[in-house]
Structure formats: structure tokens, C-alpha cells
Amino acid sequence: MKQIQILLDWMYHAIEESFTCQFVSVTASGTPVALPVFLSSFDPDAGTLVISSPVGVKRLENVRQHPEVAVLFSQVGTGKGEPSHVLLVQGRAEVDDNDPENGWKRYFAGWARRQTSARESLPKMRQMWPAYVQRAIIRVQPTRFLGWPEGDMQRAPEIVEVHGAIIERPAALHATPGRLPFRGQVSERNVMIEWTDELIAQIGSYSRAALSYMGQDGYPVTLPLPFTFDRVEHRFTFPVPAQPPAISLEAEGSASMTLLRYDPQRANEAYLLFYGQIAKHGDTWSFSPTRVVLR
């Protein structure tokens, strides 16, 4: 079994004590998208990260077409002594959907440890949305661990490279591949934005953002950042962290942003996803949304 070198202690802490994490896949158009998931398993020897996903969601198609992915661990806001570290894990993923009825259950204990209500809610979900418990496994083999201990993103990040990792340029960055067949799809509407009072009020209910862009080495990058929103210009502004991974010149400008907040009633994260353009202005980034995903 391939083993990775020993990570820094705070990196193990960020992974093992996480509530949710942001799984970052790349769409057919080459835009990375970060959405919250529960980590099911982490192997500290091989470094493998495991999550499960309903067979109908788009991230499975994304991973098959573009196996370079990322997983972001950062503070969610549960108020239960969660670590304040920020850790971005980049790597190559594979989808295992050989046994969607039972295969993911081998890893369910890790999910249930993070979301204690999961065991009692799954039978309800099976009745309301049967496809939810038909799940594929996504395994991520890391190539790089990059992050900021204690969440101090104004100092240089600490980086652990995985020796022997193969980094390849993904074809999806150069051309839009054909759609691959997959079973079902979660209903979402990716629409042009109407800046209604309701949408602007909804934006105000979110406490943090995950800004996603393509890095120069072909891996997606997602960073958790505080934001301000200009209600007139409809533009988001973020502080640029110290030495962030460089933005790919081929994908410069194309980005997504996931607004996030912890929902204690659901014991999960609520999110609102935007696609748009990213630009740098001195020590800040601006994000101008062009489309919003309505669920």
C-alpha cells in the first residue's frame, strides 16, 4: 500500500475534527464548484479521503470527466470546539458506483460521527427521495496538502507535497467534452440573475463564502473568505490571502462562489451557488456573478 509522508499535526486535526468539508469538482465548461459534503473516511497512512454521493448528482459526472479535485476543510460555525484551521487538499479522484445500494455503508460510520442525526434521518430520506440512498463512493488520492493553521490566511501557507504523485493537465481545461451517461440528476436551475429584494436578503443571511477558481497546475482551488456585498453594483469583494495558489491563465476570470451558513435545524450547511468572473484589484479580489443556481 502506498503511504504518504507524515503530515503536520494541525492538518490531521483539521481533517479528523471537521464537521462538513467542501468537495470541489470541475464542470464540463472548466469551472470549479465547491459544495458541502460529509467526509466518510480518511486513511492517515495512504492519505485517501472518501465521501459518498447520490448517483444522480452532477459531481459524479464532473469527476469522471475531470478527476483533478480538491477538498476544503475550514470552520463551519457549529460552535462545538471545531478547529479553526484552513486546509485545502488537492488530488485525483475516482468514482466507484459498483454497488450503490450497499457499498457506501462500509464508510457510513465516519459520516454519522460528524452528523449525529444521520442514522435516524436516512430512513426518512429513503421514503422522501429513494435515490438519496443509492450512493456512489468517491475516493480522493491527495497530491498536495496546503493550508493555514489557526485560519490565519495573511501569513504564508504551509504545504506538504505527496511524493510520487502524478500531476497531469486535464483535457477538460482545453475543450468541452461530450456528456457521459449517468443515472438521474438532482433538480437544479442555473439561471441568469434577477436581483430581487428576496435574493439580496438571502445573500445577507449567509456568513461566509468559498471562492473557487482553477489553479495553474490543473487542480481546482477553493478558499474560505470573508466577503462584503455591494447591493448597488451586485459585486462581492474578498481580501486576498498571503501567497494563494496562482490562477490559471487559461481559465482566468471564470470562477464560482458558494455562500455558506450552518443550519442548526438541519444539522447541515445551507448554501447558495453563483457562477461569475473573478478579478484582482491590489490586495482584494472581486467576484461579479453572472448566474445563480436555484435548488
- pLDDT at position 253, please? 74
- pLDDT at position 81, please? 76
Neighbours of 175 (CB within 10 A): 9
Which residue from 183, 199, 61 is spatially nearest to 130, judged by alpha carbons? 183
Element (H, E) at 60: helix 58-65
The rounded distance, in Å, linking the Cα atoms of 65 and 59 is 10
The rounded distance, in Å, linking the Cα atoms of 153 and 123 is 41
Angle at 84 between CA 26 and CA 144, to 5 degrees: 40
Joined grid coordinates for residue 140 = 480522493
Beta bridge partners of 230: 235
The rounded distance, in Å, linking the Cα atoms of 180 and 61 is 7
Neighbours of 130 (CB within 10 A): 10
Tens of pLDDT, residue by residue over 247-265, are 998 777 789 999 999 988 8
The rounded distance, in Å, linking the Cα atoms of 155 and 249 is 24
The contacts of residue 242 (CB under 8 Å, 6+ apart) are: 153, 154, 155, 156, 157
The rounded distance, in Å, linking the Cα atoms of 64 and 42 is 21
- pLDDT at position 165, please? 54
Is residue 97 within 8 A of residue 248, CB to CB? The reply is no
pLDDT by residue, tens only, the chain of 295 residues: 556 678 999 999 999 999 999 999 999 999 999 999 999 999 998 899 999 999 989 999 999 999 999 999 999 987 767 889 999 999 999 999 999 999 999 999 999 999 888 888 888 888 888 888 999 999 999 999 999 999 999 999 999 999 765 433 333 333 333 322 332 333 455 678 999 999 999 999 999 999 999 999 999 999 999 999 999 999 999 999 999 999 998 777 789 999 999 988 888 899 999 999 999 999 999 999 999 997 6
CATH 3.30.450.40 fits 9-294, yes or no: no
3-state SS, residue 280 = strand
How much is the pTM? 0.88
In this structure, what are the phi and psi dihedrals at residue 134, rounded to the nearest 5 degrees?
-100, 100
In this structure, what are the phi and psi dihedrals at residue 128, rounded to the nearest 5 degrees?
-75, -40
Distances (CA, A) of 71 to 10, 136, 210: 16, 17, 11
The rounded distance, in Å, linking the Cα atoms of 197 and 199 is 6
Is residue 283 within 8 A of residue 176, CB to CB? The reply is no
Distances (CA, A) of 157 to 82, 249, 283: 20, 22, 17
- pLDDT at position 183, please? 29
- pLDDT at position 130, please? 87
3-state SS, residue 44 = coil
The rounded distance, in Å, linking the Cα atoms of 172 and 27 is 8
